Amino acid sequence: MKLLIFGMGYSGKAIAQRWPGEVVGTTRSAERVAELKKDGFEAVVFNGQLTDELAAHLRSATHIVLSASPSEQGDPVLNAIPDFFEKAAALKWLGYLSTVGVYGDFDGAWISEDTKPNPVSKRGKWRVDAEQKWAEYARKVGVSFAIFRLAGIYGPGRSTFDKLRNGKSRRIVKPGQVFNRIHVEDIAQIVNAAAAMQATGVFNGADDEPAPPNLVIEHAAQMLGIDPPPEEPFETADMTPMARSFYGDNKRCGNSRLKKDLGLSLKYPTYREGLQSILEQENSK
């Protein structure tokens, strides 16, 4: 089994580490290729052009994960390789990393993988469009296709601890607001399990306990033995339009398909287990 990951970023590296066979990832620059190779990953450049080297990997890949974000211009992989499925001659399974942001706002109510997307942001609409195009093409050629709608991604080096330590953490309080999260190691086990089973359809990569962001910050600060940043009411907080837009979606994301169809239990079912693991890893170094 050969896995090709378009967009070898934070999640892509975690997925690659668990993959049982050959893995190749793409990144945007030769400098980043060198960095990934130092970390033990095979990588090639993809910056909107299909090179001969990438074409050879695409031709031999049995499994592909798409982790490249779309833009107003559309999906970067489809734009660069319109005959993608013709070139991916050995492909058996395709996975697309999306976001729970595609569902839109449900005023804190529970949603599931069966909930119809209704994005409120431009980025969410671009994601839905990319999901639909990949699903349509995969269906036409008979390739198994899965969508992973991921909640807020965190893990070692990218957690509330880091923001608290560098002074960038803000305790924004919006009554009733909750978010789901997902530890990067759980993303890796979800995607790898789905790929091994050639699973299809939508999977919500979300933890079991959606929680207010200020509660998570307070818990992390307590674990570090420091005071949390001061509370800031959402209505008057000075935020960028992008940061404020994240608070426009309020929902609780169910993840039943992970358990029912993939037979998985989350390694970090809530932010508490996830943060505890990160702190233990830091303290063991």
* pLDDT digits 0-9 by tens, 58-95: 999 999 999 999 999 999 999 999 999 999 999 999 99
Q: What is the pTM of this model?
A: 0.96
Please report, to the nearest 10 degrees, the dihedral formed by the alpha carbons of residues 147, 151, 154, 155 taken in order.
-50
pLDDT digits (tens, 9 = 90+) for 31-58: 999 999 999 999 999 998 999 999 999 9
285 pLDDT more than 90: no
How much is the average pLDDT of 208-217? 97
Which domains are seen in the chain, by residue range? Answer: 2-155+181-207+254-268 (3.40.50.720)
Which residue in 33, 10, 13 sits closest to 23, CA to CA?
Answer: 13
